[in-house]
């Protein structure tokens, strides 16, 4: 009888530890670190923007897997949308896309346990100069400390404010032909 009770206590404790680690990764608090990874084909942003009632420039969206960066566990999905608002180093559709840089408004919806949080950031996309054969561009967005990049929240994120910081990479080689994008990005959400 004691061994059954002991096993039950271990199982309950393990359940609380597992649930706590998910809540820590996806809960509001100081920082949430997530990795967006995968390959998808672009679709227009109209339906997703309407569904969440957000404003933004006409964009293309992709859906990716969302991982906790501390554990590597899949904790949700992410819808990442981008609108190119500037091209650096040539003309889109004329010059080789792998040599162009972009100014992008990135609108991202993190579908996390307990709710969805949406952010919008100004993103720099530049060609990779070394170190990666799988990616053509490096991406980054660094908000000012007093910025509020949160444009949507529901569930436990209903009243969230804060910043979103992005550092990542993408393969844009098929973007103009098929709309396909491969991404491997890290986001740090600092929510209040």
Instruction: Read off the tokens for 87.
Output: 């091209």
Give the DSSP H/E element, type plus range, for residue 14.
helix 2-26
Residues 6 or more apart from 86 whose CB is under 8 A from it? 102, 103
What are the tens digits of pLDDT across the range 79-110?
999 999 999 999 998 999 999 999 999 999 99
Q: Are 157 and 111 in contact (CB under 8 A)?
A: no
pTM over 0.85: no
pLDDT of 131 strictly over 90: no
pLDDT of 56 strictly over 80: yes
Q: What is the pLDDT of residue 13?
A: 32
Residues 6 or more apart from 66 whose CB is under 8 A from it? 34, 35, 36, 74, 75, 76, 77, 78, 110, 111, 112
pLDDT of 67 strictly over 60: yes
Q: What is the pLDDT of residue 97?
A: 92
Q: What is the pLDDT of residue 6?
A: 36
Distance CA 38, CA 80 (A): 11
């Amino acid at each position: 009888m004691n061994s059954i009770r002991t096993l039950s206590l271990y199982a309950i404790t393990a359940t609380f530890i597992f649930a706590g680690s998910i809540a820590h990764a996806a809960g509001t608090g100081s920082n949430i670190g997530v990795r967006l990874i995968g390959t998808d084909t672009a679709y227009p942003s109209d339906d997703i923007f309407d569904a969440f009632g957000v404003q933004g420039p006409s964009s293309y969206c992709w859906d990716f897997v969302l991982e906790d960066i501390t554990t590597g566990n899949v904790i949700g999905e992410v819808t990442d949308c981008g609108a190119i608002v500037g091209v650096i180093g040539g003309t889109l559709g004329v010059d080789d896309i792998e040599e162009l840089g972009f100014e992008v408004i990135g609108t991202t919806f993190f579908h996390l346990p307990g709710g969805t949080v949406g952010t919008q950031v100004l993103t720099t996309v530049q060609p990779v100069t070394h170190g990666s054969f799988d990616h053509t561009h490096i991406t980054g967005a660094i908000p000012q400390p007093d910025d509020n990049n949160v444009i949507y929240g529901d569930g436990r994120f209903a009243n969230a404010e804060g910043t979103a910081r992005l550092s990542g990479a993408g393969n844009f080689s098929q973007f103009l032909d098929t709309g396909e994008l491969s991404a491997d990005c890290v986001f740090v959400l600092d929510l209040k």
